[in-house]
Structure 1
């Protein structure tokens, strides 16, 4: 799983940071979370490719959606034929349709708008799902959790071959699928050579939000939590008034959730020249890895057992 931070600024872009967008490449599935103005250029600049089939919108404030019209028109210019799904909070269909058809544009490819509520399974795949998470902002808003299914346990080839005398071949595959096999006059059960299921990865992206119990629950044991950290605590009143979080509050959520990594995003232009107050404050209140990613930064998210082995 590769995460590319396309836009990490707050409501206003800076010369170094674009407005909100995050691209997740999950084994070839490219999932775009939010699409602030200029996202398509960021995608070109950072070589993510345009093979995006799903856009997950947290809310309809401009810094999270104004890149949609340009992105769709670029898809059109590139003769796209595959459908595009845009997932957005309930009650926003009309606004999303206006973005899709901005300037009288009528895409030649299907654009399907799906309205979602907190708790919905927004995208259901065999190996993972994307769920909507309740957040707290000034408008109808959700976050998203990408949750992978458990993986098969490790296959103990040495035991199968040397202790049980099973030669490599189809029986290995059957055992790894959880099916018993007959060998040397007895039944070999899968649990004899296959370890317990191994957890998949979990990524949570909040969009703009106050700290919430729902995000903490969704981010339990998360491999990566991408959380609003618009301000440092000296602007806590402003964060509360505008329904954003401070770095300290984001860190507290990550700490409660026992997340492994915390990426602090939606950084106010107050910190355009120096984001260290945000980073320092989060690190004081969270023992895991907390940082402010730069636009264009890529992060490989390992499986939990691989991370533990590092």
Structure 2
């Protein structure tokens, strides 16, 4: 089952000629989500072929570089005759601001737009196969991060062992794999645990938005397959990062080590590093070798953990 991340905007508060403001598109099979929606996000979606078929927008906070793309995107969806409702999730205390933003042109979309306030610890979305959880971040505004967490997968079915036990090929295999015992013709019963291995972990993708390093991020990202973390500044601006509610690339890498994540994507890079962004990646990799700085438009397929 595919889980793909497209980096639509990786710049900090000010866009550059090569990096747009914050937006991350995530597709899990037929489900498509947008995390933050900076100015120009709809054009990035067209440029990088993500399409506009999204059902949920998750905002980490309401600073302009994370939300100013909403009015244009909502209008385009309206022009495209959208009928399905759209859910926008935003940190607690910011609903009215976001609702005003959806009507900034003086007209409301013809489709339903639901604005939902979230608190750290909330399960924002539960599909049965995965959840999107909100967690606490530390910025200069009401803010949250989000974690997409898949449920465990079924253990591997040992067909050879099942046949040795006399289980007939066919529907009985599916019953066992679904956790149901099977009675054989001789009256003996084969239990699922005899032929099905331990549950296998799903995947976890964590997106912080703008934040200082926090223990909540470490806890949420524990063992995550991908952590997308604020890396606004290089270490020479560490004091500035703390004052403005951001992280350095080194701090993000240190956090990734503590959380034992598999990969770290560095994002929200300050425009002061335009043309020399490699310093951000270099500083992070000195601490966490699996760190990388995506360009706008980069696609990343998140694989299942090794079985």
TM-score by length of 2: 0.98
* Superposed structure 1 runs of 4+ greater than 3 Å apart: none
2:54 aligned partner: 52
Moved more, 6-15 or 179-188: 179-188
1:141 aligned partner: 143
Q: CA deviation at 1:105?
A: 2.1
In the alignment, the residues of structure 2 paired with residue 179 and residue 253 of structure 1 have an alpha-carbon distance, to the nearest angstrom, of 42
1:228 aligned partner: 230
In the alignment, the residues of structure 1 paired with residue 81 and residue 294 of structure 2 have an alpha-carbon distance, to the nearest angstrom, of 33
Residues 220-299 of structure 1 mapped to structure 2, 5 A cutoff: 220-287=222-289, 289-299=290-300
1:64 aligned partner: 66
Three-state SS of the structure 2 residue aligned to 1:152 is coil
In the alignment, the residues of structure 2 paired with residue 29 and residue 130 of structure 1 have an alpha-carbon distance, to the nearest angstrom, of 12
In the alignment, the residues of structure 1 paired with residue 296 and residue 135 of structure 2 have an alpha-carbon distance, to the nearest angstrom, of 25
- Aligned-residue CA RMSD (Å): 0.8
Residues 1-310 of structure 1 mapped to structure 2, 5 A cutoff: 1-161=3-163, 163-183=164-184, 184-287=186-289, 289-305=290-306
Structure 2: runs of 5+ lacking an equivalent: none
In the alignment, the residues of structure 2 paired with residue 290 and residue 31 of structure 1 have an alpha-carbon distance, to the nearest angstrom, of 23
Q: CA deviation at 1:148?
A: 0.6
Q: CA deviation at 1:236?
A: 0.6
Three-state SS of the structure 2 residue aligned to 1:304 is coil
Q: CA deviation at 1:185?
A: 2.3
Cα deviation code 1:257-293 (max 9, x no counterpart): 0000000000011111011111011111114x11100
In the alignment, the residues of structure 2 paired with residue 168 and residue 85 of structure 1 have an alpha-carbon distance, to the nearest angstrom, of 45
Q: CA deviation at 1:27?
A: 1.4
Three-state SS of the structure 1 residue aligned to 2:172 is helix
In the alignment, the residues of structure 2 paired with residue 154 and residue 302 of structure 1 have an alpha-carbon distance, to the nearest angstrom, of 17
In the alignment, the residues of structure 1 paired with residue 78 and residue 227 of structure 2 have an alpha-carbon distance, to the nearest angstrom, of 33
Number of residue equivalences: 304
Q: CA deviation at 1:19?
A: 0.2
Q: Is the 1:82–1:110 contact (alpha carbons within 8 Å) kept by the matching residues of 2?
A: yes
Q: Is the 1:200–1:304 contact (alpha carbons within 8 Å) kept by the matching residues of 2?
A: yes
Q: CA deviation at 1:102?
A: 1.2
In the alignment, the residues of structure 2 paired with residue 71 and residue 158 of structure 1 have an alpha-carbon distance, to the nearest angstrom, of 53
In the alignment, the residues of structure 2 paired with residue 7 and residue 84 of structure 1 have an alpha-carbon distance, to the nearest angstrom, of 21
In the alignment, the residues of structure 2 paired with residue 238 and residue 153 of structure 1 have an alpha-carbon distance, to the nearest angstrom, of 48
In the alignment, the residues of structure 1 paired with residue 79 and residue 18 of structure 2 have an alpha-carbon distance, to the nearest angstrom, of 28
Q: CA deviation at 1:106?
A: 1.1
Moved more, 54-63 or 102-111: 102-111
